[in-house]
Amino acid sequence: MVLRPDGTIPIARFYVDSLEEKLAKLFYVANVFIFEATGKKTRERWQCGAELIGVSSPAADVELMTLVGEVLKKLKLEDVELRLSHIGLIKALLQKLGLSGEQQTKIFDQILDGDAEALTRIKPVDPGLGEALSLLFGLKGKSSGFLRNLQALLNDYLPELKPHIDDFINIVDLLEALGCNYQIDIASGRGFEYYTGVIFQFFKDEEKVGGGGRYDALIPLMGGGNIPASGFALYLDRLMNLVKLELPANFQGILIRAEPNEVEVLKEGFNIASNLREAGYVAELDLGRRKSTDFRWLLDVSSKPPIILTDQVKQKRFELKTINEVLTLLRKMGKVP
């Protein structure tokens, strides 16, 4: 028994129960729970993610990668590194090595836990196969040509890898055509055991902020049809530590002051605050606990017009009749957020 380890499995269950046989593009925001043996780190984490269920193609995988890129760009995170691996290649290698099912599972789990040296510790009987493994797991670079050269070298010993390398090449070709930066690192295949194809991870200054991959076997495993799927998750707790909130220059918000003992005046204050927020302004109703000097603008509401708007920076006072006049004046002065 486990608590929810990620958001993909519940989404897959929902698809099997309600949407099977349909193309589905779904997203979620949820808390998840991880095993943390030391007790020093929080076991509850928050993540958001998206799942593309019902299609298997390089275009589908790349669409998810570019979606992550767009989200991170909107968060104004720069120099984020995309690292690519392919779990299909790793599984095909384990089968080729002639390991028992138990041994394959053990090594596969080690790789998913981040042990990049797990496969290199295996010594194949065939020296040629050992050299091929060394080439594959030393693979770090950027270029579909790099993968094609590797494929030519491995054909003699590992023909079983061809469909997986072809898939990888097609994904990389499309990323290059779109101008996306990436780094191939086969040994970085960390993730969940249900992955079956490409794995992609996003790093900011060596901290993983998101990742995902193809999991074509998960829907069938949960009682559904032979439905392919892929998805990703972004780690909100980590992103929150990286994102910097930037308010517009010379704009420190609007403090709305209304007589607290007059219901109708308070009602008007709430209405004005709502209108200002809908227009994109930072507006706060004065509850008596904030300093007026923390705000650029003061807006005083009374039982009768006018509404008094004060610019504390330029020491100007304006008498206005309606909230529309307030918005017009703010826009005219160029203080639109």
Residue 167: count of CB within 10 angstroms of its CB: 20
The confidence band for 139, taking pLDDT boundaries of 50, 70 and 90, is low
Write the CA distances from 38 to 4, 41, 42, 43, 208, integer angstroms. Answer: 20, 7, 10, 10, 20
**So what's the pLDDT on residue 126?**
62
Task: Specify the CATH number of the domain 8-242.
Answer: 3.30.930.10
Q: Which of 2-6, 22-26, 119-123, 179-183 has the lowest mean pLDDT?
A: 119-123
Ranges of each domain in the chain: 8-242, 254-332
Identify the three-state secondary structure at position 241: helix
pLDDT for 191 equals: 65
**Predicted local distance difference test score (pLDDT) of residue 84:** 92
- pLDDT surpasses 90 at 153: no
Arithmetic mean of pLDDT, 110-121: 67
- Mean pLDDT (whole number) for 139-148: 70
For residue 103, the SS3 value is helix
First to last CA, the chain: 49
pLDDT interval class at 290 (50, 70, 90): confident
For residues 234 and 71, is the Cβ–Cβ distance under 8 A? yes
pLDDT of 22 higher than 50 = yes
The confidence score (pLDDT) of residue 14 equals 94
Amino acid letter, residue 246: E
Angle between helices 58-74 and 162-177 (to 10 degrees): 40
| Res 184: pLDDT | 87
User: Burial, 52: exposed, middle or buried (Cβ in 10 Å; 0-12, 13-18, 19+)?
Assistant: buried
| Better-scored residue on pLDDT, 54 or 34 | 54
Confidence category of residue 28, pLDDT binned at 50, 70, 90: very high
Residues 256 and 97: their CA atoms lie apart, in Å, by 71
Q: Give the C-alpha separation, 84 to 164, whole Å.
A: 13
Homologous superfamily, domain 254-332: Anticodon-binding domain (3.40.50.800)
Q: Do 53 and 222 contact (CB within 8 A), yes or no?
A: no
- Read off the pLDDT of residues 256-280 as tens digits, 9 standing for 90 and up: 998 888 898 999 999 999 999 998 8
- String of DSSP letters for 303-335: SSSPEEEEETTTTEEEEESSHHHHHHHHHHTT-
Rounded Cα gap, residues 256 and 244, in angstroms: 26
pLDDT at residue 337 tops 50? no
Separation CA 182–CA 201 (nearest Å): 10
Question: Which structure tokens are listed for 305?
Answer: 């017009």
> How many residues does this entry show for the chain?
337
**Span 310-334, pLDDT tens digits:** 998 889 999 999 999 999 998 887 6
Whole-number Å distance between alpha carbons of 142 and 263: 66
What is the pLDDT at residue 55?
94
With beta carbons less than 8 A apart as the criterion, state whether 187 and 116 touch. yes
Residues 63-100 have pLDDT tens digits of 999 999 999 999 999 899 999 988 888 787 777 776 77
The pLDDT mean for the chain works out to 84
